[in-house]
Amino acid sequence: MIQPVDEDAPERPRLATRELSAFFGRSRVVSNVTLGFRDQEVTAIIGPSGCGKSTLLRCLNRMHETVPGASATGIVTLDGTDIYAAGVDPIAVRRHVGMVFQRPTPFPTMSIRDNVTAGLKILGRHAPRGADAEDVVEGALRHAALWDEVKDRLGESAIALSGGQQQRLCIARALAIRPQVILLDEPTASLDPLSTQKVEELVYQLKQDIAVVIVTHNMQQAARVSDRTAFLLMGDLVETAPTNTLFTAPRDPRTEAYITGRFG
């Protein structure tokens, strides 16, 4: 039974955490984080390596619990419903909260087309087929700004693509199931500057329709692409604010020290 959480609907973010903590065994790596992510906004999560950024992100669609010994406490809500409540299927959660990882992960034995349609398997018997599936492939690749580059090579292996194209293909795969939120875990960390620019332009386009959460080690990137930024340090949420405010007038001295390069 899905348990709705009583929140103020007009102000309610699309996705939110309340007192969220994450553990590997007995080691706590995220501590009591309360944070909201709104539609048509990009939220960047920044902080030094090992501060819990990626773990926090993986808790938002229940990927964290797929690691042996990993667990989470607290509440994560999607449209007011606790995704960790008893009876909530984590596969169904990932249908609505898609994720793209740091390194491009196309399926090497599949064609470009099949990589996109692979994401549809999560829909089970409701997955589109035939011409409908082809429409989904085209739509997802267009949304990922990749269609014009691959429309004549859909049957070719995905590993024939460049690194930047592979990452956009992974984004297309995530978009094929029409998620309400997309999580990007340092999506340009392994890309060249031109490919990075294309992915950043894509992030700007994505936020027109859905909520976007991006973990990045690059503060310049956070400043370029995000509407709001959250600073994480040693698993604690130090502060969150509109991006321009956080980078120009941070409230916490630890945030100022980090963004001015005094540590991290």
Assigned domain for 226 exists: yes
Assigned domain for 154 exists: no
Assigned domain for 69 exists: yes
What does pLDDT average to over the chain? Answer: 90
Range of 31's domain? Answer: 9-104+184-259
Assigned domain for 240 exists: yes
d(CA 124, CA 131): 17
* Helices of type H across the chain: 53-59, 90-96, 112-118, 131-143, 147-150, 163-175, 193-206, 219-225, 243-248, 253-259
Assigned domain for 15 exists: yes
pLDDT, tens only, 88-109: 999 889 989 999 998 888 999 9
**Closest by Cα among 202, 12, 186, 229 to 100:** 186
- pTM of the predicted model as reported, rounded to 2 decimal places: 0.89
**Closest by Cα among 208, 198, 135, 212 to 167:** 198
CATH of the domain at 34: 3.40.50.300
pLDDT, tens only, 11-68: 579 999 999 999 999 999 999 999 999 999 999 999 999 999 999 999 999 999 999 9
Query: pLDDT value at position 138?
Result: 94
Number of domains making up the chain: 1
**Closest by Cα among 5, 10, 55, 60 to 35:** 60
Q: Largest Cα–Cα distance in the chain?
A: 57
> How would residue 118 be classed by pLDDT, with cut points 50, 70 and 90?
confident
Assigned domain for 75 exists: yes
| Percentage above 90 pLDDT, the chain | 78
Assigned domain for 129 exists: no
d(CA 82, CA 201): 32
User: Are the beta carbons of 172 and 104 closer than 8 angstroms?
Assistant: no
